C-alpha cells in the first residue's frame, strides 16, 4: 500500500516516491532559540515525529536534518523588526550565545519529554557560518544577488517566477509595496542574504565582505545542501513558512544550482487556543512545563494532537486535554487487558486491522482515522496477547509508549518520595509508607497501589 502525502508545491495529494528507495532524505525547519518553545511550536515537531514514524513503519531508512536557529533572527520573517536573539539577551541580561545555549538545551529537553524521534542530524547555524558564506558567494557569482551599502540582497527579479509555493503574484506585491520599503532594495520581495554587522553587534563573523552575519533564510539552504544534497525528498515546516521562508529557500537554491531543493513540501497547520491565536498578550501561551504543572504529562499532549489531522488547525482547551488524558489511560488499560487475555484470535482478524491502520497512516498521515482503527482493536471482544502485540506495533507510529506505566515526568522531589515509599513497602514498613503517601496527597497527588505497581497522578 503506497504512502500518499499532500505536497504544498503541487497543492495535491501525491504518491510518495523517494529519490533513493533505500533512504529518505528530509529537512525540517527547527526552532529559533530565544525563548522556551510553546505548545504551538511543539505541534510542528510532533508532526515531524509523526512523519518520521510513518516513513519508518513503511520500511524506509531516514537521513533527516533539522536546524537550530541560534543566529539572531528578526521578529518578522521579512527582514524587519528587532533581532529576536538580541532582544532576549537584553531581557535576560546575558549575551546572545548564552541565550541560544540555554534555550537549545530547553528545546532538546522538551523533545525528549515528548518522546520525539529525533532527526539524525541536528545542525546549529552558528557552527555553519562557513557553509553559508560559500553558498552566498556562489549565488553572487551566478548573478542572483546585489550589494547595497550594508546588505547583500537576493534579486528575486532574476528568477522565472518568485513565489511558486504560495502562488505569489510578484507584480501585485510590487504595486502594493509597503511604506517602509527599503529604498536600497530593487524589488519588494528581495531579501537579505548577508548583512554588515554594526560595530556593537554581538553575533558577527569575519567574512569575504568584512564583519557580517547571515540572513535567516540562508542557513536552511546551506545546511540542507551540505547534509542532504542539492535535491532531497521532503521539506517540512509550519504553515507560516510557506509565504516567505520557504519561498526564499527555493529562490536561494535556484540561485545556487537552478533546482528546487525538495520534491515534497509538507506544512503543519497552527494550534489555536480557545479558537484564536496563541499570544503572550492574551495570556494564553503555554509551554510544556505549564502543562506538566497542571498535571498533564507530555504524552497527554501528544495524544491530544492526534485528535486532528496535521493539515487542519487544532483548538487547544483544557477540556480537550482532560479527554486526551482519559483516552490515553484507557488505551493503556486496553493494552494491559489484551496482554493478560487468554482468548485466541485468528491471524486473519489481525491482518485486517493492520491493513486498515496502514491505509489510514498512508493516507497523508490520517491519525484521527488510525486512532479509530486502534479503538476498534482495543474494544475487540476477544482479549489476546496477539492483539496486545499488534497495538504495540501501531504504537511505534503513535509513540505513546502504551506499555509503560505513568509516573514519568513527575517533578524530581515527587519521584524521590515515590522511590522512598517503594523501598518502605518492600521492607513492609507500612507506617513509613503511609506517612509518605500522606506527603504525596498533601502535595496534591492521588496515589493508587495496584498489582502492577504504584501510580501517582496530579489532581488539577
Ligand atoms: P520558530 O521557533 O518561531 O521558528 O517556530 C518553530 C516552528 O513552530 C515553526 O515550524 C513554526 O511554523 C511553528 N509554529 C509556530 N507557531 C505555531 C502554532 N501556533 N502552531 C503550530 N506550529 C507553530
Ligand atoms: Zn528553514
* Residue 279 included in any domain: yes
> Among 219, 238, 277, 311, which is best to mutate for testing ligand 1, by the most ligand atoms less than 8 A from CB?
238
Which candidate, 36, 32, 12, 11, places its Cα nearest to that of 285? 36
Cα separation of 23 and 59, whole Å? 10
Q: Say whether both 261 and 287 belong to one domain.
A: no
Q: Say whether both 278 and 258 belong to one domain.
A: no
Per-residue pLDDT tens digits for 81-121: 677 877 888 888 888 888 899 999 999 999 999 999 999 99
Q: Which of 268, 297, 316 is the last residue of a domain?
A: 268
Cα separation of 50 and 176, whole Å? 39
What is the position in ligand 1's atom list of the atom closest to the CA of 238? 12
Q: Say whether both 208 and 78 belong to one domain.
A: yes
Q: Say whether both 367 and 440 belong to one domain.
A: no
Q: Say whether both 218 and 354 belong to one domain.
A: no
Number of CB atoms found within 10 A of residue 219's CB: 28
Q: Which of 268, 303, 320 is the last residue of a domain?
A: 268
Cα separation of 115 and 206, whole Å? 39
* Residue 403 included in any domain: no
What is the position in ligand 1's atom list of the atom closest to the CA of 277? 19
Q: Say whether both 285 and 234 belong to one domain.
A: no
29 alpha carbon, closest ligand: 2
In this prediction, residue 180 carries a pLDDT of 47
- Ligand 2 centre from 228 Cα, in Å? 14
Q: What is the pTM of this model?
A: 0.87
Q: Say whether both 253 and 346 belong to one domain.
A: no
* Residue 383 included in any domain: yes
Q: Which helix (H) or strand (E) holds 233?
A: strand 232-238
* Residue 404 included in any domain: no
In this prediction, residue 423 carries a pLDDT of 85
* Residue 405 included in any domain: no
* Residue 325 included in any domain: yes
Burial group, residue 341, by CB count within 10 angstroms (0-12, 13-18, 19+)? middle
Per-residue cell: 429: 514498613
Burial group, residue 275, by CB count within 10 angstroms (0-12, 13-18, 19+)? exposed
In this prediction, residue 179 carries a pLDDT of 42
> Within 13 Å, how many C-alpha atoms sit on residue 10's CB side?
11
Q: Which of 398, 422, 446 is the last residue of a domain?
A: 398
Cα separation of 423 and 401, whole Å? 26
Q: Say whether both 334 and 421 belong to one domain.
A: no
Provide the domain limits for residue 416.
Answer: 412-458
* Residue 406 included in any domain: no
> Among 38, 43, 44, which is best to mutate for testing ligand 1, by the most ligand atoms less than 8 A from CB?
44
Q: Say whether both 167 and 82 belong to one domain.
A: yes
Cα separation of 346 and 340, whole Å? 17
Per-residue cell: 172: 501585485
- The CB of 270 under 6 Å from ligand 1? The reply is yes
- Ligand 1 centre from 234 Cα, in Å? 18
Cα separation of 109 and 219, whole Å? 23
- Ligand 2 centre from 28 Cα, in Å? 7
What is the position in ligand 1's atom list of the atom closest to the CA of 272? 19
Under 8 Å between Cβ of 264 and 14: yes
Which candidate, 182, 238, 228, places its Cα nearest to that of 20? 228
- The CB of 271 under 6 Å from ligand 1? The reply is yes
Q: How many domains does the chain have?
A: 3
Q: What is the CATH number of the domain that holds 292?
A: 1.10.730.10
28 alpha carbon, closest ligand: 2
Number of CB atoms found within 10 A of residue 24's CB: 23
In this prediction, residue 406 carries a pLDDT of 67
In this prediction, residue 140 carries a pLDDT of 98
- Ligand 1 centre from 29 Cα, in Å? 9
- The CB of 238 under 6 Å from ligand 1? The reply is yes
Q: Which helix (H) or strand (E) holds 191?
A: strand 191-196
- The CB of 32 under 6 Å from ligand 1? The reply is yes
Cβ density class 429-445: b for 16+ within 10 Å, e for less: eeeebeebbebbeeeeb
Q: Say whether both 78 and 218 belong to one domain.
A: yes
Q: Could you say which residues of the chain have pLDDT below 70? A: 73-81, 169-182, 406-410, 450-453, 459-460
Cα separation of 186 and 396, whole Å? 51
* Residue 88 included in any domain: yes
- The CB of 76 under 6 Å from ligand 1? The reply is no
- The CB of 43 under 6 Å from ligand 1? The reply is yes
Q: Say whether both 152 and 214 belong to one domain.
A: yes
Q: What is the CATH number of the domain that holds 9?
A: 3.40.50.620
Q: Say whether both 260 and 293 belong to one domain.
A: no
Per-residue cell: 406: 505513568
Amino acid at each position: 500500500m503506497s504512502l500518499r502525502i499532500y505536497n504544498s508545491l503541487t497543492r495535491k495529494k501525491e504518491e510518495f516516491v523517494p529519490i533513493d528507495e533505500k533512504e529518505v532524505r528530509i529537512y525540517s525547519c527547527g526552532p529559533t532559540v530565544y525563548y522556551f518553545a510553546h505548545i504551538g511550536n511543539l505541534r510542528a515537531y510532533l508532526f515531524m515525529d509523526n512523519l518520521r514514524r510513518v516513513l519508518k513503519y513503511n520500511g524506509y531508512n531516514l537521513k533527516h536534518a533539522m536546524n537550530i536557529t541560534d543566529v539572531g533572527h528578526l521578529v518578522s520573517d521579512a527582514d524587519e523588526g528587532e533581532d529576536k536573539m538580541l532582544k532576549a539577551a537584553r531581557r535576560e541580561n546575558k549575551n546572545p550565545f548564552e541565550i541560544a545555549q540555554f534555550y537549545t538545551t530547553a528545546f532538546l529537553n522538551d523533545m525528549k519529554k515528548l518522546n520525539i524521534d529525533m532527526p539524525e542530524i541536528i545542525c546549529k547555524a552558528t557552527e555553519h557560518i562557513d557553509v553559508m558564506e560559500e553558498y552566498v558567494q556562489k549565488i553572487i557569482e551566478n548573478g542572483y544577488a546585489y550589494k547595497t551599502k550594508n546588505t547583500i540582497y537576493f534579486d528575486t527579479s532574476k528568477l522565472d517566477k518568485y513565489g511558486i509555493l504560495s502562488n505569489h503574484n510578484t507584480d501585485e506585491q510590487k504595486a502594493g509595496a509597503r511604506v517602509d520599503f527599503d529604498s536600497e532594495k530593487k524589488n519588494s520581495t528581495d531579501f537579505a542574504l548577508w548583512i554588515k554587522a554594526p560595530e556593537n553587534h554581538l553575533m558577527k563573523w569575519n567574512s569575504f565582505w568584512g564583519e557580517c552575519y547571515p540572513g535567516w533564510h540562508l542557513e536552511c539552504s546551506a545546511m540542507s545542501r551540505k547534509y542532504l544534497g542539492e535535491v532531497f525528498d521532503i521539506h517540512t515546516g509550519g504553515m507560516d513558512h510557506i509565504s516567505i521562508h520557504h519561498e526564499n529557500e527555493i529562490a536561494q537554491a535556484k540561485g545556487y544550482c537552478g533546482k528546487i531543493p525538495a520534491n515534497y513540501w509538507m506544512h503543519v497547520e497552527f494550534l489555536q487556543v480557545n479558537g484564536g491565536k496563541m499570544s503572550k498578550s492574551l495570556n494564553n501561551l503555554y509551554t510544556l512545563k505549564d502543562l506538566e504543572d497542571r498535571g498533564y504529562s507530555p504524552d497527554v499532549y501528544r495524544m491530544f494532537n492526534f485528535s486532528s489531522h496535521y493539515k487542519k488547525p487544532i483548538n487547544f482547551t483544557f477540556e480537550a486535554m482532560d479527554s486526551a488524558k482519559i483516552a490515553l489511560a484507557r488505551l493503556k488499560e486496553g493494552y494491559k487487558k489484551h496482554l493478560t487475555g487468554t482468548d485466541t484470535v485468528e491471524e486473519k482478524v489481525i491482518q485486517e486491522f493492520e491493513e486498515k491502520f496502514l491505509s489510514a497512516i498512508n493516507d497523508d498521515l490520517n491519525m484521527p482515522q488510525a486512532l479509530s482503527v486502534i479503538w476498534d482493536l482495543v474494544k475487540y471482544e476477544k482479549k489476546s496477547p496477539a492483539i496486545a502485540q499488534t497495538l504495540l506495533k501501531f504504537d511505534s507510529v503513535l509513540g505513546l509508549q502504551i506499555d509503560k506505566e505513568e509516573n514519568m515526568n513527575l517533578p524530581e522531589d515527587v519521584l524521590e518520595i515515590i522511590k522512598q515509599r517503594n523501598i518502605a513497602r518492600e521492607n513492609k514498613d507500612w507506617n513509613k509508607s503511609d506517612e509518605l503517601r500522606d506527603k504525596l496527597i498533601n502535595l496534591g497527588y492521588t496515589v493508587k497501589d495496584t498489582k502492577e505497581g504504584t501510580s501517582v497522578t496530579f489532581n488539577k
